[in-house]
Amino acid sequence: MVESGAVNWFTILPVGLDPEARERVRSALAPLDAVVTAGADDWSEALELASAGHYDGLVVAYPLGDAPMAGFLASLRRPACLCRNSAVVVITDGRRKEEAETYLGRGANRVLTWDEAPLRLPDVFEDLFKAAPRVRVELPVRVMPVVDSRGESVPCLTVNISASGMLLKLKEAYRPGTVLVFEMVLPGSAQPVIGHARVVRRTSVRREPFAGVGVAFAGLHEGARARLTTFLQRAIA
């Protein structure tokens, strides 16, 4: 789980969860050593708490009472809010999951059903806590599935990139779980960044105006990590 020597606890704010649901979340996150607070009963209380103090993550019930989810998430992500960069996981019933997923990329980071939450919530939050800041930049990339090593690589462009992965504008709709070999050209670098990445999601036309996939780095060739880190540090500065 959390590496030794690092901060070994995280604060989680439940929003719109009844006492029983909060207890289920608290039990699910026990392996992560997370402190699940008393929570906010409604969206206005949640925004007040999120503006007054920082929380590493929020678990938000969907639907959120009588509050429009889009408005709540927009307020949460405004520059003045102390939780603007916090991980947000939305939990809903299975029949409303597709509806809730329209908020991915619009303030929500992940959507789970109540049936999925007990097993997946700790891993989802751990992955989100590890996620690095993204840089919006278009860089040329070529990708090819590992299982299709004799085929031709496919050209695409990055939409954003971080130390942990990238979002690619790509016509090929690779399925989540597909491992890709990639080669990316960095500005001012004579050597490309070469490595492997795993597809974690496909883009949705309802929230992203392009076809593509989100990938997490699964391994970089020697020297590539240092070149990528240097580029990101300069871009973020």
Mean pLDDT by 10 residues, the chain (237 residues): 41 93 91 82 90 89 90 92 90 94 90 94 87 83 85 90 87 87 90 88 75 86 86 80
Three-state SS for 55? coil
CB burial of residue 51 (10 Å; 0-12, 13-18, 19+): middle
Angle at 170 between CA 168 and CA 171, to 5 degrees: 160
Is 2 among the domain residues?
no
The residues near 62 (Cβ < 8 Å, ≥ 6 apart) are: 69, 90, 91, 92, 96, 99, 100, 103, 111
Domain boundary among 65, 96, 130: 130
Parent domain of 114 = 10-130
Domain boundary among 106, 130, 154: 130
Name the pTM for this structure. Answer: 0.59
Domain count, the chain: 2
CB distance 17 to 25 below 8 Å: yes
Residue 20's Cα: distance from chain center in Å? 27
What are the phi and psi torsion angles at 144 (to 5°)? Answer: -160, 130
The confidence score (pLDDT) of residue 120 equals 93
d(CA 120, CA 100): 17
Residues 124, 20 within the same domain: yes
The confidence score (pLDDT) of residue 72 equals 94
The confidence score (pLDDT) of residue 206 equals 64
The confidence score (pLDDT) of residue 4 equals 30
The confidence score (pLDDT) of residue 1 equals 31
Residues 120, 150 within the same domain: no
Hey, which residues does 153 pair with through a beta bridge? Answer: none
Residues 77, 170 within the same domain: no
The confidence score (pLDDT) of residue 106 equals 87
Is 5 among the domain residues?
no
CB distance 55 to 34 below 8 Å: no
Three-state SS for 87? strand
CATH number at residue 142: 2.40.10.220
The confidence score (pLDDT) of residue 3 equals 31
Is 141 among the domain residues?
yes
Domain boundary among 100, 130, 160: 130
The confidence score (pLDDT) of residue 207 equals 65
